[in-house]
Amino acid sequence: MKDDAKAFAEKAHEGQKRKNSDAPYITHPIRVAERLEQAGCSEELVCAGYLHDVVEDTVYEIEDIEEKFGTTVAELVAAHTEDKSKSWQERKQHTIETIKTAKKEVKYLIVADKLDNLLGLEKDLKEQGDVVWEKFNAGMDKQAWYNRSIAENMYQGLKKSEAPSYFMAYEEAVKRVFPNI
Protein backbone atom coordinates (compact mmCIF):
# COMPACT_ATOMS: atom_id res chain seq x y z
CA MET A 1 0.00 0.00 0.00
CA LYS A 2 2.90 2.40 0.73
CA ASP A 3 4.23 2.06 -2.81
CA ASP A 4 0.75 2.77 -4.18
CA ALA A 5 0.42 5.86 -1.95
CA LYS A 6 3.80 7.15 -3.10
CA ALA A 7 2.91 6.59 -6.76
CA PHE A 8 -0.49 8.27 -6.28
CA ALA A 9 1.15 11.29 -4.65
CA GLU A 10 3.80 11.49 -7.39
CA LYS A 11 1.07 11.56 -10.04
CA ALA A 12 -1.07 14.06 -8.11
CA HIS A 13 1.82 16.50 -7.50
CA GLU A 14 3.36 16.10 -10.96
CA GLY A 15 4.75 19.41 -12.22
CA GLN A 16 4.46 21.18 -8.85
CA LYS A 17 7.55 22.80 -7.29
CA ARG A 18 8.51 23.57 -3.71
CA LYS A 19 8.28 27.16 -2.50
CA ASN A 20 11.57 29.05 -3.00
CA SER A 21 13.13 26.34 -5.17
CA ASP A 22 12.95 24.31 -8.34
CA ALA A 23 12.75 21.06 -6.37
CA PRO A 24 9.81 18.85 -7.35
CA TYR A 25 7.03 19.16 -4.76
CA ILE A 26 6.90 15.39 -4.24
CA THR A 27 10.23 15.53 -2.40
CA HIS A 28 8.35 16.97 0.59
CA PRO A 29 5.68 14.24 1.01
CA ILE A 30 8.36 11.60 0.47
CA ARG A 31 10.47 13.04 3.31
CA VAL A 32 7.40 13.26 5.57
CA ALA A 33 6.48 9.63 4.89
CA GLU A 34 10.07 8.50 5.39
CA ARG A 35 10.26 10.32 8.73
CA LEU A 36 7.05 8.61 9.86
CA GLU A 37 8.34 5.22 8.73
CA GLN A 38 11.66 5.74 10.52
CA ALA A 39 9.71 6.54 13.68
CA GLY A 40 7.97 3.17 13.44
CA CYS A 41 4.53 4.49 12.53
CA SER A 42 1.82 2.33 11.00
CA GLU A 43 1.51 1.65 7.29
CA GLU A 44 -1.64 3.78 7.18
CA LEU A 45 0.15 6.74 8.74
CA VAL A 46 3.09 6.41 6.37
CA CYS A 47 0.61 6.40 3.47
CA ALA A 48 -1.02 9.52 4.90
CA GLY A 49 2.45 11.08 4.95
CA TYR A 50 2.75 10.57 1.21
CA LEU A 51 -0.81 11.80 0.63
CA HIS A 52 -1.10 14.61 3.20
CA ASP A 53 -1.13 17.49 0.67
CA VAL A 54 -2.98 15.77 -2.18
CA VAL A 55 -6.47 17.02 -1.29
CA GLU A 56 -5.22 20.46 -0.33
CA ASP A 57 -3.04 21.11 -3.39
CA THR A 58 -4.31 18.97 -6.29
CA VAL A 59 -7.52 18.07 -8.11
CA TYR A 60 -8.12 14.98 -5.99
CA GLU A 61 -10.77 14.84 -3.27
CA ILE A 62 -10.79 13.02 0.07
CA GLU A 63 -13.19 10.50 -1.48
CA ASP A 64 -10.46 9.52 -3.96
CA ILE A 65 -8.10 8.83 -1.06
CA GLU A 66 -10.72 6.81 0.81
CA GLU A 67 -11.63 4.75 -2.26
CA LYS A 68 -8.02 3.82 -3.00
CA PHE A 69 -6.47 3.67 0.50
CA GLY A 70 -9.35 3.14 2.94
CA THR A 71 -11.08 5.03 5.71
CA THR A 72 -8.16 5.20 8.15
CA VAL A 73 -5.78 6.82 5.66
CA ALA A 74 -8.53 9.17 4.45
CA GLU A 75 -9.34 10.24 8.03
CA LEU A 76 -5.67 10.97 8.74
CA VAL A 77 -5.33 13.02 5.55
CA ALA A 78 -8.62 14.83 6.21
CA ALA A 79 -7.57 15.74 9.76
CA HIS A 80 -4.49 17.48 8.36
CA THR A 81 -6.02 19.09 5.27
CA GLU A 82 -6.50 22.85 5.42
CA ASP A 83 -9.62 24.57 4.12
CA LYS A 84 -8.18 26.90 1.48
CA SER A 85 -11.38 28.99 1.47
CA LYS A 86 -10.35 30.34 4.88
CA SER A 87 -7.72 32.99 5.58
CA TRP A 88 -4.12 32.06 6.42
CA GLN A 89 -4.72 33.02 10.05
CA GLU A 90 -7.91 30.94 10.31
CA ARG A 91 -6.24 27.89 8.72
CA LYS A 92 -3.23 28.05 11.02
CA GLN A 93 -5.35 28.62 14.12
CA HIS A 94 -7.39 25.55 13.16
CA THR A 95 -4.18 23.46 12.91
CA ILE A 96 -3.06 24.72 16.33
CA GLU A 97 -6.44 23.79 17.82
CA THR A 98 -6.28 20.40 16.08
CA ILE A 99 -2.85 19.55 17.46
CA LYS A 100 -4.01 20.27 21.00
CA THR A 101 -6.68 17.55 20.99
CA ALA A 102 -5.97 15.26 18.04
CA LYS A 103 -5.20 11.60 18.40
CA LYS A 104 -1.50 10.86 18.44
CA GLU A 105 -1.31 9.68 14.81
CA VAL A 106 -2.64 13.03 13.60
CA LYS A 107 -0.11 14.82 15.81
CA TYR A 108 2.66 12.66 14.35
CA LEU A 109 1.61 13.58 10.80
CA ILE A 110 1.29 17.30 11.52
CA VAL A 111 4.66 17.57 13.26
CA ALA A 112 6.45 15.47 10.61
CA ASP A 113 5.05 17.85 7.97
CA LYS A 114 5.87 21.02 9.90
CA LEU A 115 9.39 19.81 10.67
CA ASP A 116 10.12 19.14 7.02
CA ASN A 117 8.72 22.54 6.04
CA LEU A 118 10.78 24.27 8.72
CA LEU A 119 14.00 22.49 7.76
CA GLY A 120 13.39 23.54 4.15
CA LEU A 121 12.78 27.12 5.26
CA GLU A 122 15.96 27.09 7.33
CA LYS A 123 17.97 25.91 4.31
CA ASP A 124 16.35 28.53 2.05
CA LEU A 125 17.08 31.32 4.55
CA LYS A 126 20.75 30.31 4.67
CA GLU A 127 21.01 30.21 0.88
CA GLN A 128 18.77 33.14 -0.10
CA GLY A 129 18.38 35.35 2.96
CA ASP A 130 15.28 37.27 4.00
CA VAL A 131 13.95 37.51 0.43
CA VAL A 132 12.48 34.07 1.18
CA TRP A 133 9.73 35.67 3.29
CA GLU A 134 8.30 37.44 0.22
CA LYS A 135 6.92 34.13 -1.09
CA PHE A 136 4.90 33.41 2.05
CA ASN A 137 1.30 34.41 2.76
CA ALA A 138 2.45 35.56 6.19
CA GLY A 139 5.74 37.12 7.23
CA MET A 140 8.37 36.07 9.69
CA ASP A 141 6.46 37.22 12.81
CA LYS A 142 3.35 35.21 11.94
CA GLN A 143 5.40 32.21 10.88
CA ALA A 144 7.20 32.38 14.24
CA TRP A 145 3.86 32.54 16.09
CA TYR A 146 2.53 29.56 14.14
CA ASN A 147 5.55 27.31 14.53
CA ARG A 148 5.99 28.17 18.21
CA SER A 149 2.31 27.45 18.83
CA ILE A 150 2.63 24.02 17.21
CA ALA A 151 5.73 23.28 19.31
CA GLU A 152 4.02 24.46 22.52
CA ASN A 153 0.90 22.35 21.96
CA MET A 154 2.08 19.17 20.23
CA TYR A 155 2.68 17.26 23.48
CA GLN A 156 -0.83 17.87 24.89
CA GLY A 157 -2.47 14.52 25.60
CA LEU A 158 0.72 12.55 24.89
CA LYS A 159 2.95 10.75 27.32
CA LYS A 160 6.60 11.73 26.78
CA SER A 161 7.27 8.13 25.76
CA GLU A 162 4.71 8.45 22.94
CA ALA A 163 6.45 11.43 21.31
CA PRO A 164 8.77 10.47 18.44
CA SER A 165 12.30 11.88 18.51
CA TYR A 166 11.49 14.24 15.67
CA PHE A 167 9.24 16.23 18.04
CA MET A 168 12.43 17.38 19.79
CA ALA A 169 14.03 18.05 16.39
CA TYR A 170 11.06 20.29 15.57
CA GLU A 171 11.42 22.23 18.84
CA GLU A 172 15.11 22.75 18.13
CA ALA A 173 14.44 23.89 14.56
CA VAL A 174 11.85 26.41 15.79
CA LYS A 175 14.45 27.89 18.15
CA ARG A 176 17.07 28.09 15.38
CA VAL A 177 14.82 29.65 12.72
CA PHE A 178 13.02 32.07 15.07
CA PRO A 179 15.57 32.82 17.81
CA ASN A 180 14.69 36.42 18.64
CA ILE A 181 11.08 36.75 17.70
Catalytic positions, written as ranges: 56-57
Q: Do 79 and 102 meet the contact criterion of CB atoms below 8 Å apart?
A: yes
Q: Which residues pair with 24 in a beta bridge?
A: 17
| Cβ neighbours of 149 (radius 10 Å) | 18
Q: Do 57 and 80 meet the contact criterion of CB atoms below 8 Å apart?
A: no
Buried b (16+ CB within 10 A) or exposed e, 16-34: eeeebeeeebbebbbbbbb
If phi > 0 it is left, if psi is from -120 to 50 it is alpha, else beta; for residue 129 that is left
Identify residue 87 by its one-letter amino acid code: S
Q: Enumerate long-range contacts of 135-140, CB under 8 Å, 24 or more apart.
A: 135/19, 135/20, 136/19, 137/88, 138/88, 138/89, 138/92, 140/178, 140/181
